[in-house]
Chains A and B, each alone.
Chain A
């Protein structure tokens, strides 16, 4: 299969790029022939510190196939130790010591695409999610999947996220969601963090055709036109001010 991926991301209005706390892979446009590809998106929680780092670590671990594997608990423990090592390299003031103790939190939604044995034009996909970062599949111009959230009123509650400290993950297992399905050539997948994901669902709920929405998102060229498009959504008050990340994945 051939996948073409366009990542688009922006820190929230008023923030500098280094304050951006979402993460995704790939970070640059990608065009690849492969039997199996993994993509992921994560949204570091704003109320915790060092959550952007934690989000990047989770995304990296997922695309390397480390999360979702049988030894996942051990992998998570290793990631947590690494996060702690990195954030405590220098002496911290009292408030950051306390923030580090309480841990960083992030959502994670990962997508795996694989060819089936019969050929290169069809295949299977599977996804794993914790939290409110969204996956959409558009097939034949129809919205085939909105997951793990499919209603705009379900955003805004406080979802369970993956914590960088073990005490925060005591009940994590109950909140890991998985799903799988099939893809065909021409299908498009979108991974979106919550602000842009909730806009997408609201538009669908408002009666817009998924194909029309997909055309709008697909017509965004690169980063510069993405910034302009997002500014327009802010102006029309359709988008909450937040870090925004969108991965557009087309299977050819």
Chain B
């Protein structure tokens, strides 16, 4: 049966994030205090006429991935160190081309082990966190929050090249890990590919496999289309607003049975044909989708 391989230090798995870093990712997600600009700007061919306060899409995505890496490191760590259950890559694509997105000593590496990630953040921030005190109250504490990725956004959207790069990275990795739980690729984008039709590249990526099944592709689309209603893990393209969203739906993998179970824990009621596709996601949904994509793995030697 596919997607049942145990993940262990002897048989690690892989997560690969593909992040759209094109110019439109600097748009503010929930703009507040919108003010007209005295002198409108044109950046990357886009016309900016107002200023607004709020987090940009790029900031939101970086925050979600930093938080996810934090959770994975914690899940893998014991008093004897961080167990290397996973190798992880983050590939950014935008005006600077397609390249590994980690900063600091991990910069320019396609894949790094989870222990290298845990031990090498760019910086560690102090953040306030509200927590349940277990007795019905809330209290605030200061936590250390490591940062591996800073937001960046410029230029076009070379999605096909990014998908080809993902295929190349995993083509090199899979022969060394023939019995692994298949790599999960999580692709976060807000825009239309500017270097061609990406469906073929997605199919080519998910045609790769280990003995436990094919590579899994999640497409998380942060849409600017005013007609796009939030849709999560649909089993058909009905209701998708445009051809672009349909392409992202078509290219995404079906959720595995364990992923559907975890999705149910997040309150989703999904059919057997549900796909790893999320449209017009708010950041809460992005985080939930990341959790569903990455927790559905059965870590053995803990």
> Contact residues of A with B, CB < 8 Å?
12-15, 18-19, 46-47, 49-50, 87, 93-99, 167-168, 170-171, 241
- Distance in Å from the Cβ of A171 to the closest Cβ of chain B? 7
Given A14-B10, A47-B302 in contact, is the A167-B134 Cβ separation under 8 Å?
yes
Of the A-B pairs whose beta carbons lie under 8 Å apart in the complex, a sample of 13, sorted by A's number, is: A14-B9, A14-B301, A15-B301, A49-B77, A87-B79, A93-B118, A93-B119, A94-B146, A95-B73, A95-B82, A98-B144, A99-B77, A99-B79
CB pair B144 A97 closer than 8 Å: yes
Residues of A within 8 A of B10 (CB): 14
- Given A12-B301, A13-B301: 7 more A-B contacts, CB < 8 Å: A19-B80, A50-B79, A94-B144, A96-B77, A98-B74, A98-B143, A99-B74
Bitwise, B122-164 to A at CB < 8 A (1) or not (0) is 0010000000011100000001101000000000000000000
Across-interface contacts of A167 in B (CB, < 8 A): 133-134
- Distance in angstroms between the alpha carbons of A27 and B130 in the assembled complex: 43
Question: Chain A contacts of B124 at CB under 8 A?
Answer: 94
Tell whether, in the assembled complex, residue B78 and residue A49 are in contact, meaning their CB atoms are under 8 Å apart: yes
What is the interface size of chain B, counting residues whose CB is below 8 A from a CB of the partner?
Answer: 24
Q: In the assembly, what is the distance between CA of A94 and CA of B74, in Å? A: 10
Nearest 9 CB-CB pairings of A with B: A170-B134, A46-B302, A94-B144, A95-B77, A49-B79, A14-B301, A167-B134, A50-B79, A95-B73
The CB with the most chain B CB atoms within 10 A, among A13, A95, A241, is that of A95
Task: Tell whether A14 pairs with B8 under 8 Å between CB atoms, given A93-B119, A94-B124.
Answer: yes
Residues in A whose Cβ lies below 8 Å from that of B80: 18-19
Contact mask for chain B residues 16-51; partner A; CB cutoff 8 A; 1 contact, 0 none: 000000000000000000000000000000000000
**Residue of B118, B135, B300 touching A95 (CB-CB under 8 A):** B118
Instruction: Give 1 or 0 for each of B112-125: 1 = CB within 8 Å of chain A CB.
Output: 00000011010010
Q: Within the complex, what minimum Cβ distance (angstroms) separates B62 from chain A?
A: 18
Query: Whole-angstrom distance between the alpha carbons of A81 and B75 in the complex?
Result: 24
Q: How far, in angstroms, from A59 to B10 measured CA to CA in the complex? A: 32
* Cβ-defined contact, A168 with B79, below 8 A: no
The chain A residue sitting closest to B145, CB to CB, is: A94
A47 / chain B contacts, CB cutoff of 8 Å: 75, 302
> A168 near B134 (CB under 8 angstroms)?
yes
Chain B proximity of A31: nearest CB distance (Å): 35
Q: CB within 8 Å of A: which residues of B?
A: 8-10, 73-75, 77-80, 82, 118-119, 121, 124, 133-135, 143-144, 146, 300-302
Report the separation of the CA atoms of residues A19 and B79 in the bound assembly, to the nearest whole angstrom: 9
Least CB distance from A90 to B in Å reads 11
Among A12, A13, A19, A87, max chain B CB count under 10 A is at A19
Residues on B with beta carbons closer than 8 Å to the beta carbon of A13: 301
For B146, the chain A residues whose CB sits under 8 A away are 94
Q: Across the two chains, which residue of chain B brings its CB closest to A104?
A: B79
Residues of B within 8 A of A15 (CB): 301
Residues of A contacting B9 with CB < 8 Å?
14
Closest A residue by C-beta to B139: A167
A87 to B77, CA, bound (A): 15
Query: What's the least CB distance linking B255 to chain A, in Å?
Result: 22
Residue from B79, B121, B300 whose CB has the most chain A CB atoms within 10 Å: B79
Residues in B neighbouring A170, C-beta threshold 8 A: 134-135
A193 and B73 alpha carbons, distance in the complex (Å)? 27
- Residues on B with C-beta less than 8 A from A14 are 8-10, 300-301
Q: Which residues of A contact B301 (CB under 8 A)?
A: 12-15, 241
Minimal beta-carbon separation of B302 from chain A (angstroms) = 4
Which A-chain residue is minimally distant from B131 (CB atoms)?
Answer: A167
User: Bound state CA distance, A125 and B301, in angstroms?
Assistant: 36
For residue A193, give the distance in angstroms from its CB to the closest CB of chain B. Answer: 15
Tell me, in angstroms, the Cα distance from A99 to B134 when the chains sit together. Answer: 17
Q: Do A241 and B134 touch (CB < 8 A)?
A: no
